[in-house]
Structure 1
Amino acid sequence: MGRATSRLADAFAKLKPDLVVVLGDRYEILGAAQAALILGIPIAHIHGGEVTTGAFDDSIRHAITKMSNLHFCAAEDYQRRLIQLGESPNTVFNVGALGIDVLLNIEKMTRDELASVIGIELQQELLLVTVHPTTRSELSMTTEITELLTALDHFAQATIVFTGVNADPGYKYVNDEISKFVLREPKRRVLHNALGQKNYLNLMRIADVVIGNSSSGIIEAPALHVPTINIGTRQDGRLRADSIIDCKFSHNEIRTAIETALSPSWKARCLATTSKYGSGNTANSIADTIKNTKLTTQKIFFDNF
């Protein structure tokens, strides 16, 4: 984080941008916000106001909020929370999630094209799994990944595609355990550390279930009417669509949740699901707001009582 702040400060000093736009809550982004703050460059923050109590990203997100001058949030609840945090209402805009924009505009791929990229046949049932370390959890990382893989082992005929583990503390252990799990059935299981946005979202489009603790299961999967099994506390606090099944890191609960998600009745439920994160045009809304806003680093604490 220290190196990121230092190097981004050097880059900003050379580029002299009028505005720094940051998205999300990762610790890498905190470095960019800190550098811009000290250099007196206004900051626009995308996806503020959300809550994820199971990850330290939660604190980072709120810290970036207090450094930022413009706020583009993904839902009305999050807009209210930013104002609750003391941000002036005339700097907070509910524009929806950029991920929905991408879904609407991304080039579609066929199942065969995806299979060529993934490297295995994509037969049903297709399970798309993304699991990251839970950085605020009462369970050990060993317990979490063991419970998940034990549950997945029950679905002997399923095709299981794992995506890469992010760089939170403990990621190497999680990645190594998944790699060993994949090697036991290499014709039906695969781990891709970097699928890329186009491949990942097209894979999600044809998946029978999205499983894990990633925000993509909360934001993008419901917009595609794909069932989500959200495991553990990492995403606790985020708005939920009706297509999402929450469960603990318990192999019995995960197994039951997958069986439910694969049922015809749950798939019908998912078809009727609407996104909690807007319906698109987010990028244009952000661009128009920035163009029509006088940029400043001056902030007041808005007391909403």
Structure 2
Amino acid sequence: MKILTVVGARPQFIKAAAVSRVIRKHHREVLVHTGQHYDRNMSKVFFEELNIPEPDYNLGVGSGSHGRQTGTMLIKLEEVYEKEKPDLVLVYGDTNSTLAGALCASKLLIPVAHVEAGLRSFNMEMPEEQNRVLTDHISNILFVPTKSAEKNLKGEGIKKGIYNVGDVMFDAILDFKKLAENRSEIIRDLHLEGREYVLATIHRAENTNHIKRLGDIVSALNECGRTIVLPLHPRTKKYMSDYGLKFNKNVKVTDPVGYLEMINLEMNSQKIVTDSGGVQKEAFFMKKPCITLRDETEWVETVENGWNKIVGTDRKKILDAILNFTPSKKQENIFGDGKASVKIMKVLDR
């Protein structure tokens, strides 16, 4: 069987690292990188350090408006699909690359498998939510990571092709945690040895593209009195410059870091503040209290389990959570057994 995998953004590289390793033991895989993330620290470094095979195609789409970016992907993907004639297209997550990969395959009557299906924030103003819903409704095989994701799909009338395999990012954490422990040079370089710090990430357009929301986040981080480590996303850096926002000295700003360095920073942090869905999960895997800079989350289980607090971008709520939030109960096993990739392969074999 020839499986064509479409990736384009950091979280998808991580998931593909776990799943592609299993796929290639049994079948031929054609790996297509749309180029949605093109900065070296957001893209190529992940292929290098996670030992992901070099993409067979790099479409070089780059940045742009949602419509232009998705449209360009569709045009270029169609050429690849018609040339490669895959038996199945595999897509991950909720990016424009996800939607373009699934929609192009569906138009060409190629079966689509969606890894991380069924997630819902129930906020259709989010581009990610639109991508998730549309991708799920044109997919033939839906690999869900949690029980609530399965429930969401059935509530939308999707009854067939659903497989609860667990979370592939949990697979990746188990695979790469030991390697990440050896990346402690980032702790040394940032002069963090023996110091407590809070790790932060900010990248979602709903926060970066609005001066009030981003300004309140920056103010809270500046005023909390804690050491904050912030690998700064290129989009966030641009908007901070546009808005004239600056961090105080307690916020240690770095360039985007590789996956293994990020895991090392997570492992050694006191708490994590983020608007990233993937980092919310990684915080849970690392048993770190998570403070989410959004008004809702698709990872509702982490909130229900008491390890994730939703604060939006309210300055006072962010400050209070950084200073006072602690998990309310012991973690439950909500993301599977770390063998999602093997289960995905068994389903595809059938």
Question: What TM-score, normalized to structure 1?
Answer: 0.80
Amino acid corresponding to residue 343 of structure 2 in structure 1: S
Aligned length: 274
Map Cα deviations across residues 163-183 of structure 1 (whole Å, 9 max, x no partner).
4256xxxx565453799635x
Cα RMSD after superposing both structures: 2.7
The structural deviation recorded for 1:10 is 0.8
**Which residue number in structure 2 is paired with residue 298 of structure 1?**
none
- Of structures 1 and 2, the one with the larger relative CO (CA 8 A, separation 6+) is 1
Q: What residue number does 1:147 align with?
A: 216
The whole-number CA distance in structure 1 between the counterparts of 2:246 and 2:146 is 38
Structure 2 residue corresponding to 1:109, chosen from 176, 181, 186: 181
Aligned partners of 1:289, 1:52: CA distance in 2, in Å?
Answer: 27
Rounded Cα–Cα distance in structure 2 between residues aligned with 1:235 and 1:56: 14
For normalisation by structure 2, the TM-score amounts to: 0.71
User: What is the SS of the residue equivalent to 1:273?
Assistant: coil
1:163, 1:67 → 2: CA distance? 35
Matches within 5 A, 1:43-62: 43-54=112-123, 55-62=126-133
Alignment of 1:191 with 2:254, yes or no, is yes
Report matched runs for 1:232-247 at 5 Å. Answer: 232-233=294-295, 235=297, 238-239=300-301, 240=303, 241-247=305-311
For the pair 1:79 / 2:138, whether they are aligned, the reply is no
Per-residue deviation, residues 211-264 of structure 1 (Å, max 9, x unmatched): 021112432211210110012225267332311122131211111100113xxx
Residue pair 2:215, 2:245 contacting (<8 A) in 1 also: no
- Where does residue 209 of structure 1 map in the other structure? 271
- Contact 2:115/2:142, CA 8 A, preserved across alignment: yes
1:133 to 200, 204, 217: 204
2:159 aligned with 1:93: no
Q: Deviations over 1:106-145 (max 9, x none)?
A: 02324732336xx42225322211123354x8x9711111
The 1:287/1:175 distance shift into structure 2, 3 A limit, reads farther
Measured against aligned partners, the alpha-carbon deviations of 1:51-103 in whole angstroms (never above 9, x if no partner) come to: 123422112111001111000001112112212323233x1001111111111
Aligned-partner SS, 2:300: coil
Letter in 1 for 2:190: I
Q: Which runs of 5+ in 2 are unaligned?
A: 1-69
Supply the distance in 2 between the matched residues of 1:274 and 1:175 (Cα, whole angstroms). 38
SS at match of 1:277: coil
Mapped contact 1:52–1:236 kept (Cα < 8 A)? yes
Aligned with residue 230 of structure 1, among 292, 305, 308:
292
Letter in 1 for 2:184: D
- CA gap 1:20/1:236 in 2 versus in 1, 3 angstroms: closer
Give me the whole-angstrom Cα distance separating, in 2, the residues matched to 1:44 and 1:178: 41
Name which of 84, 90, 97 aligns with 1:15. Answer: 84
User: Which sits farther off after the overlay, 230-239 or 77-86?
Assistant: 230-239
The residue number in structure 2 matching 1:250 is 314
Local SS of the residue matching 2:199: strand
